[in-house]
Structure 1
Amino acid sequence: MARGFEIVSKYAGQGLHIPYRTTKKAAGYDFEAATDFTLPSIWKLNFVKILWQLKHGETSSAADLDAAAKVLKPFLVPTGIKAFMNDDEYLMLANRSSNPLKRNLILPNGIGIIDADYYNNDNNEGEIFLQLINMGIRDVHIKKGERIGQGIFTPYLTATDEAAIETTRNGGFGSSGK
């Protein structure tokens, strides 16, 4: 069985750290930011105005809804890391417990799933990004090397009567679905 982490080629020689566990009984491997990154507060991105417009029916055009979606979209914080694992495993990305409490940062989908075929597929080296939203009133400045999330390797089961799947991944972030 093989699983682990590598640094993606564009970050080679830039002093990144492979994800690590901080205690011997920790399940999660801490991921660090690959670069300095600023997460703007959603409150500075017209969030309140858009919510008010939605509540009062003033946002109905496609352009208004596109603007709302852009404001509420998470930011992708680069880690410079890719993960390899067995075919029947995935890497679950989760928030650090201190992020919401100390920094008002959340993962909008609760967790992220990195499939085994995300690693080194034909059109993507497999760099892992953490989706984050800053719910605080001030921008959050993340410095290169700060811990921003954690990953846990997990096995999974498939249905016994599942038809054979022949489709292979052909792309990067978000490429397994339509």
Structure 2
Amino acid sequence: MIRGFEVVSKYQDQAINLPKRATKQAAGYDFESSVDMVLPSIWRFPFLKALSTIKSTKELSAQEINDANATLKPYLIPTGIKAFMQPNEVLIIANRSSNPLKRGLVVPNGIGVIDADYYNNDANEGEIFIQMVNLGITDMKIKKGDRIGQGIFMPYLTTDNDNDDLKQTRSGGFGSSGK
């Protein structure tokens, strides 16, 4: 098999749908949430208090900064899906175009990058998570099966002097490369 999707083993009996394209010309494969969850709005007291303090030109305490940052942190939405591909390919995870406009949901890092060696890693079997921040005024309920992002397989290029002999072998899951 060259490229595709599989359900992560811990979700085998939970009716997880493999990503699919919605139309014949769609580039992206739609990913669904594998769980019901609530994505909290960023507009909560610690963040609003920090904004008010900044507006009044007072200095924020370390605790106020920590509290505001905790409110702004992205959440990981599990998909229950892993992807396999060729060594010279990458799966780009992008937001659905309707998410910011209709739901106030954004992917804070712009895109996600799923490398070929993320598949079946020891830490989480290569499960794909989609980072999200809720910019809406109220908390957003995400239901199992809601389409939350899309994945696009793409080839990538390396430089002429890229030396694979000096590269590490992946040893973890989400966010583990470069450690």
Give the direction of change, closer, same or farther, for the CA distance of 1:168–1:54 in structure 2 (3 Å limit). Answer: farther
Shift of 1:60: 4.0
Alignment of 1:94-113 (within 5 A): 94-113=94-113
Secondary structure of 1:136's aligned partner: coil
- For residue 149 of structure 2, what is the aligned residue in structure 1? 149
Report the equivalent of 1:175.
Answer: 176
Q: CA deviation at 1:48?
A: 1.8
Residue 12 (structure 1) aligns with: 12
- 1:46-125 matches, cutoff 5 A: 46-54=46-54, 56-61=57-62, 63-125=63-125
| Corresponding residue for residue 3 of structure 1 | 3
| 2:113 counterpart SS class | strand
Which digits, 9 at most, give the CA deviation of each residue in 1:18-62, with x for residues without a partner? 00001011000000010111111110252221233345342242x
Identity %: 62
User: Which blocks of at least 5 consecutive residues in structure 2 are unaligned?
Assistant: none
Aligned to 2:21: 21
- Are 1:138 and 2:147 counterparts? no
- Contact 1:41/1:138 (8 A) holds in 2: yes
- Code of the residue aligned with 2:123 in structure 1: it is N
Q: Normalising to structure 1: TM-score of the pair? A: 0.93
**What amino acid sits opposite 1:167 in the alignment?**
Q
Contact 2:82/2:119 (8 A) holds in 1: yes
CA contact (8 A) 1:33 1:144 kept: yes
Q: TM-score scaled by structure 2?
A: 0.93
Per the alignment, do residues 170 and 159 of structure 1 end up closer, same or farther by CA in structure 2, a change over 3 Å counting? Answer: same
Distance 2:17 2:123 in 1: 24
1:76-115 CA-to-partner distances (Å, cap 9, x unmatched) read 0110101111001110000001101110100011111011
- What is the root-mean-square deviation of aligned Cα atoms in Å? 1.5
Deviation at 1:163, TM superposition (A): 2.3
Could you say what secondary structure the match of 1:151 adopts? strand
Change (3 A) 1:166 1:51: same
Q: How many residues align?
A: 177
Question: Does the 8 A contact of 2:6 with 2:82 survive in 1?
Answer: yes
